[in-house]
Amino acid sequence: MSLLGNTKDKVNETEKSGIYQIQCENCEKCYIGQTRRNIGIRFKEHIRNIKNQETNKSPIAEHVLEENHNIQTIQLLKQVNNYQELNIREAIEMSKNKNNLLNWDLNPLQNNLLKLLT
């Protein structure tokens, strides 16, 4: 038994990078994304798109503003650092939510799932 416990500082989830999900609070729609930066910064960019009413820059902003819906949180689905794995993991998460995606670009879903099968 250690008297010191765990001396490592825990890293806040929003300071990690990888595959993330932003869930609409008013419906089943969600956005699946990837980033090599920390997801907290990426979430702030999505919020800024909403505040600036930049519906042409973000499917999240488009959904929130057109449907009068809300988002509050971002969730890290999978911490990934390898670029190749990032694309594949994003495609897997998108396929799990394919009927409820807000994403405009579905190429990661189509292209990377094909790579997995070949």
- Domains of the chain (ranges, CATH numbers): 14-117 (3.40.1440.10)
Mean pLDDT of the chain: 86
List Cα–Cα distances, 45 to 1, 49, 57, 99, in angstroms: 44, 6, 10, 25
**0.75 surpassed by pTM:** yes
Phi and psi angles of residue 54, each rounded to the nearest 5 degrees, phi first: -95, 70
> Quick one: pLDDT band at residue 110, thresholds 50, 70, 90?
low
User: What is the model's pLDDT at position 36?
Assistant: 93
Rounded mean pLDDT, 5-30: 84
List Cα–Cα distances, 56 to 42, 46, 50, 52, 61, in angstroms: 17, 12, 10, 11, 8
User: What is the model's pLDDT at position 116?
Assistant: 52
